[in-house]
Amino acid sequence: MEKETLYRYIKCQATPEEELAVLEWLDRDPAHGRELSEIQRQYDLVALSGPLIDKYHEQHRTARWSFRLRRWSAVAAMVALVLFGGYHFRQSRRMAHLSERMLAIEVPYGQHLKMTLQDGTSVWLNAGSTLRYPALFAGDERRVEIEGEARFEVVRDAQRPFVVETYACDLEVLGTKFNVLAESGSRRFSAALFEGSVAVTNRLVADERVVLSPNRMVTLCGGHLRVGDVVDADEYRWTEGIINLTGRSFPELMARFEKAFGVTIRLERVPSIHIGQGKIRQSIGIDNALQVLQQFADFSYDKDEQTNTVTIR
């Protein structure tokens, strides 16, 4: 990122396009945030030390200017106070503006994405998922919204809890690692905790709230929260490009394949299938994945390369 653009951003003189470019640059690497903070520190130091340096030189001139110097110092202090207050007023306005600006990332089928939020929190987004988050976390909480599936590794901040909002539940944490699945279209919701603790509040039923401990999960059943153990860790290894096959029906597997491989799958018939335990890597591609399933179920398939459609027969 060009230094001139960063200086304009710090001085609140950047265009909306430049502000967005800076925010995207900050999202790409936590080191960029430290670089911007150092530039901000240097800018503040120059802005505040300039009047003090001038004052120092003036004080070492002839004594006959002492009265004028004292009067100048009082005026300079007032000016510095006004400038400093104006600077913080502009910064406060900019922070408020950024905290109100919501950004969105939508991951297409066939891909998954890892990103780092402004506070250092890591987020993995599964295929077909959308994350909405503010350009800057401000206030007494860090709130984001998720539709689809995501894994979070939240940086601890005891003064500002991290809240994940979904169509069904809110998840509140201080610093932890967890997976959340929330699909409003299919009315599915589940959350699994790997480290720390998380409080889950039902948005559909008043006053229903549970607190999870590590290796516990919560699902939404009949509109109510049901807590149990995490029984299959492979279910949450999609961040590594692994598709879990264990215990899934054929339609469920095809739904996963559609997202993982970015294809459309049409079922002319639904074969029975039972896989006691198994997983495959997303990198093997749709053809190899279907050939693996053919070892467990009786079906054939055709693939239309032009429409990227697979038909199961």
Both 245 and 304 in one domain: the answer is: yes
Both 114 and 218 in one domain: the answer is: yes
Side-chain-side CA neighbours of 197 within 13 Å: the count stands at 6
Query: In this predicted model, what pLDDT tens digit does every residue of 31-52 receive, in sequence order?
Result: 776 677 667 666 655 554 444 4
Query: In this predicted model, what pLDDT tens digit does every residue of 294-303 receive, in sequence order?
Result: 999 999 999 9
Q: Which residues pair with 106 in a beta bridge?
A: 130
Both 79 and 94 in one domain: the answer is: yes
pTM for the structure as a whole: 0.68
- For residue 191, give the 3-state DSSP assignment: strand
Both 112 and 224 in one domain: the answer is: yes
Both 57 and 112 in one domain: the answer is: no
Indicate the residue among 233, 250, 281 that finishes a domain.
233
Number of domains in the chain: 3
CATH assignment at residue 209: 2.60.120.1440
Length in residues, the chain:
313
Both 111 and 214 in one domain: the answer is: yes
Both 129 and 74 in one domain: the answer is: no
Indicate the residue among 187, 207, 233 that finishes a domain.
233
In angstroms and rounded to an integer, the radius of gyration of the C-alpha atoms of the chain is 27
Both 114 and 20 in one domain: the answer is: no
Mean pLDDT of all residues in 266-289:
91
- Residue 68: which domain range? 3-100
| pLDDT score, position 78 | 54
> Of 6, 82, 5, 13, whose CA–CA distance to 47 is shortest?
82
Q: Is the pLDDT of residue 110 over 80?
A: yes
Both 47 and 85 in one domain: the answer is: yes
CATH assignment at residue 272: 3.55.50
| Phi-psi domain of 249 (left: phi exceeds 0; alpha: psi -120 through 50; beta: other) | beta
Q: What CA–CA distance (Å, rounded) separates 196 from 129?
A: 24
Both 18 and 111 in one domain: the answer is: no
Q: Is the pLDDT of residue 71 over 60?
A: no
Q: How many helices (H) and strands (E) does the chain have?
A: 6, 18
Both 95 and 112 in one domain: the answer is: no
Question: Helix H segments across the chain?
Answer: 3-10, 16-28, 30-59, 66-100, 250-261, 285-293
Both 109 and 222 in one domain: the answer is: yes
Q: What CA–CA distance (Å, rounded) separates 227 from 293?
A: 32
Question: Contact, 111 vs 149, CB < 8 A?
Answer: no
- Quote the percentage of the chain above a pLDDT of 70: 77
| pLDDT score, position 65 | 47
Hey, what are 244's tokens?
């879990």
Indicate the residue among 217, 233, 249 that finishes a domain.
233
Query: In this predicted model, what pLDDT tens digit does every residue of 157-177 receive, in sequence order?
Result: 988 999 999 999 999 998 899
Hey, what are 269's tokens?
């018939």
